[in-house]
Structures are given as structure tokens and as C-alpha cells.
Amino acid sequence: MDSLKELWPGLNIVHGKPRHSQSQGSVERANRDVEDMLMTWRSEHKTRTWSQGLRFVQYMKNRALHAGIKRSPYEAMFGVPARVGLERTGLPTDLCHLLQDENDLEQALEGMYQASDRSDHEEDSEDDIPPSSHVEEVNTRQEAIAAERAAAKEGLVQQAKRMKRNSDAQFPPPAIGTTVSVPIPDVDRAKLNSRSMLARVLRVTENGLYELGTKNGRLKQLYAQSQFTVCAETFIEEGDVPQTTVSLRSAATQQSLDTGGHGQGFVRCNCTKGCSPNNCSCGRKGTLCNSKCHSASSCTNK
């Protein structure tokens, strides 16, 4: 990534948040599409060397129509549609239609290369100032590229506005003080812990994101309307939310401890022999050993 940044100074690397649907959803969808296309390519060619198909998948993705920008990524980048087949060789379109066999193709390519060599030789013998026609061609191409990129950007803006309207219609904005239910990711809770957590809407930012507070503290992450469910009743009052700031995992762990659980996961010991309530971590915490602790049969803390 550092090398890519050096080669492309205008590149802006944006770091997404883990398990954050707004920033990771499109990336995960793109990765799934690439995996499906690679699987199809491997099946057709009956090979396990999937890396050889990456260039074909890349070209197919770049020349496919994008619903948001209303054009292919290749066209948005270079200002012209991606060329396929003999058009990629630089041969004129009229000449491509006249080719009948490989001999005609070899003669056409040979003539094109000879003409290119003569043109290079003539340019070397002349001044270094390019002809005006060449400058006009370059300017025209740059204007076409700029126009395509501007149209692609406008398409993405319209798509974002449309998605925002649909989200607002499906998830009405909650008022300040409303109680909401926030889902807890599987990695932040034990299997027998609650799948959600009650929180109170504290404020709304200028970007339409919500700050939520639980009985264990204010959550660090800001949430969109689609990331929680509004409750019909008020279960958390303003005085129930402390001023401390905590992560969702810490709040979920504390909620598990308050309801008789063991935090993020199960309490377990690693006793190898002679496990008893007095010399193992489970016994000192007042809990019995479970199937995740050890396989010793001499355990007396069961």
C-alpha cells in the first residue's frame, strides 16, 4: 500500500471500521462477486490455479456496467469504453471487419508496425515540438475523461441520496430520549448472552448519526438509523446513563456480568490434574467446571 501511495500521489486511503456495514458492505459484496467469478472461471477451465484467472476477472469487472455511475469503471477512468477483441490491437474498426483469417491479421499488424516505425523516425528527425493536431487530440481526450469522471461522481451522489431516502422511509428517525435496541455482534458476546442491548438516544450529529448511551456508559461508536431498532416503551431514563465512555464490547461484557453471566465468554480453567474448588480459577470464582475447561477425570469441581 505504501508503494501504491508513492506511485499515485493523489490516492487517498480510507480505513474502514470492522463489522461496520456502511463502510464494509460494498467491499464484502465486491469480494463475493470476485470469488463467484473466479469459481466459475476455475470450473470452465478445470484448473486449481485461480491466480491465473484474476486478470480476466479484473477486466470483466472493469468493463461491466455500474448501476451507480451509469457506466463501466473503465469508461469512468479512461473516458472511452473498454476495447474487446481485435480493437485492443489498435487496428482501425473498418479494417477489423475485413479480416478473414490469420494471414490477413498478420499482414495488417505488420503494416501497422511498419507505419508506426516510419512515424517514429519522422518525429525524431523533426523538432521536439508536437504538432498542433496531436495537442488538440490530447486535450480532447482529457476533456472526455474529465466529463466521464464528473458524470460518474454525480451518479454516485444521486445513488447515495436515493439510498438515504429509502432508509429514512424504512427507518423513521427516533426522537431524543427514545429507547432503542442495539444488536451485539457474535464476537462481542458469549453464545448464551443476550443478542441485543438497550440504549437511549442522547443526541444526533450533523451527519445524521446517533450517539447512544447504556446503563454502563456512552457508546464510542456513532450509529445510523438502520443499525438499531426503536422500542415502543422507555426503559432507560436520562439519569441511568453515566458520563463514562465505553465500547460496545465492554458494555456487553458488563451487561453479561450484571445478569449472572461470565462476560464475553465462558469462565474456564486449565488444570491438568487434581482440579478442586480451592486450586482452580473456576472454583475461586464460585462456578463449576464445564466441558471447555479440561479433560482430566480427577476434577472435583463439577
Between CA 291 and CA 287 the distance in angstroms is 13
Task: Write down the domain spans for the chain.
Answer: 2-83+127-167, 179-258, 266-302
The residue that leads in pLDDT, 128 or 94, is 94
Q: Is 77 exposed, middle or buried (0-12, 13-18, 19+ CB in 10 A)?
A: middle
Residue 59 DSSP SS3: helix
- The x, y and z cell numbers of residue 275, run together, are 482440579
Mean pLDDT, rounded, for 169-193: 85
Angle (CA) 293-296-302 rounded to 5° is: 60
Task: Specify whether the CB–CB gap between 83 and 92 falls below 8 A.
Answer: no
Q: Provide the pLDDT confidence category of residue 163 given band limits of 50, 70 and 90.
A: confident
Helices (H) and strands (E) in the chain, counts: 9, 6
- Cα atoms in the Cβ-side hemisphere of radius 13 Å centred on 293: 24
pLDDT at 283: 79
- Residue 44 C-alpha cell reads as 470452465
Q: Which band of pLDDT confidence, cut at 50, 70 and 90, is reported for residue 90?
A: low
Mean pLDDT of the chain: 81
Q: What is the mean pLDDT of residues 167-187?
A: 87
pLDDT for 23-60, tens place per residue?
A: 666 777 788 888 899 999 998 888 888 888 888 898 88
Q: How far apart are CA 295 and CA 283, in angstroms?
A: 16
DSSP state of 276: -
Burial of 60 (0-12, 13-18, 19+ CB in 10 A): middle
| pLDDT value of residue 218 | 95
Residue 171 pLDDT class (50, 70, 90 cuts): confident
pLDDT, greater one: 90 or 225: 225
Q: What is the mean pLDDT of residues 2-17?
A: 78
- Distance of alpha carbon 223 from the chain centroid: 17
Residue 130's pLDDT band, with cuts at 50, 70 and 90, is: low
Residue 200 DSSP SS3: strand
Taking the domain 179-258, which CATH number applies?
A: 2.30.30
Largest Cα–Cα distance of the chain, in whole Å?
96
CB 62 within 8 A of CB 74: yes
Three-state DSSP at 4 gives helix
